[in-house]
């Protein structure tokens, strides 16, 4: 079984949400249906990045890292081309 660390982007507000799950398609659907209170007001969400891990602890550790300042910098460098395409 895989565990996924994912980043969603709100198309309306250009905000990002970082989370982890073992069923990525179902989880993205839940975000877009408004089942998550913290993301409900920023619908619609689009999956822009994900990583797969074999162990749940690795996925939670990676999620926590991406939520730090250093992790946020890493993430933005990782999807640099996507960010610049969206801006220009």
For residue 87, the model assigns a pLDDT of 61
Query: What is the count of structural domains for the chain?
Result: 1
pTM over 0.75: yes
CB-based contacts of 65: which residues, under 8 Å, 6+ apart? 71, 74
The residue with tokens 């069923």 is: 23
- What pLDDT tens digit does each residue of the chain (88 aa) get? 999 999 999 999 989 999 999 999 999 999 999 999 999 999 999 999 999 999 999 999 999 999 999 999 999 999 999 888 866 5
Give the number of other CB atoms < 10 A from CB of residue 58. Answer: 15
| HEC-encoded secondary structure of the chain | CCEEEEEEEECCCCCEEEEEECCHHHHHHHHHHCCCCCCHHHCCEEEEEEEEECCHHHHHHHHHHHCCHHHHHHHHHHCHHHHHHHHC
Q: Could you list the residue range(s) of the whole structural domain that residue 59 is in?
A: 3-87
- CATH code of residue 23: 3.40.1440
């Amino acid at each position: 079984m895989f565990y996924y660390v994912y980043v969603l982007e709100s198309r309306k507000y250009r905000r990002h949400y970082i989370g982890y799950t073992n069923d990525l398609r179902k989880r993205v659907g839940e975000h877009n249906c408004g089942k998550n209170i913290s993301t409900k007001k920023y619908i619609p969400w689009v999956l822009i990045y994900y990583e797969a891990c074999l162990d749940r602890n690795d996925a939670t550790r990676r999620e926590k890292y991406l939520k730090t300042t250093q992790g946020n910098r890493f993430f933005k460098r990782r999807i640099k081309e996507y960010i610049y395409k969206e801006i220009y």
